[in-house]
Amino acid sequence: MRLTVTDTAASSSKGSPSEKKAPQRGFFGRIMLFIRQVLAELGKVVTPTRRELVRFTITVLVFVVIMMLIVTALDLVFGRAALWVFAG
């Protein structure tokens, strides 16, 4: 049994556009399409539970505190190094 590739399959695999084209929309048609797509995406949003929200908030706060400590330590080290180099 020999398999052959049809013209349609060959042309679509080459990346050529298909015969069906999306209808041309005017300015307001594109805006309405955008709004419909935004509302569809908002419908997919899952609201976190209270427990998840608290966990996410604590995680962010801990991360921010750690980053503040790292930046503070680096600031102190580079500040003292600058004073040592330039002050005397």
16-75 pLDDT, tens digit each: 555 667 678 899 999 999 999 999 999 999 999 999 999 999 999 999 999 999 999 999
pLDDT, position 24: 85
d(CA 52, CA 58): 10
3-class DSSP assignment, residue 69? helix
What are the pLDDT digits (tens) for 57-71?
A: 999 999 999 999 999
15: pLDDT strictly greater than 70:
no
pLDDT, position 5: 56
pTM above 0.75, yes or no: no
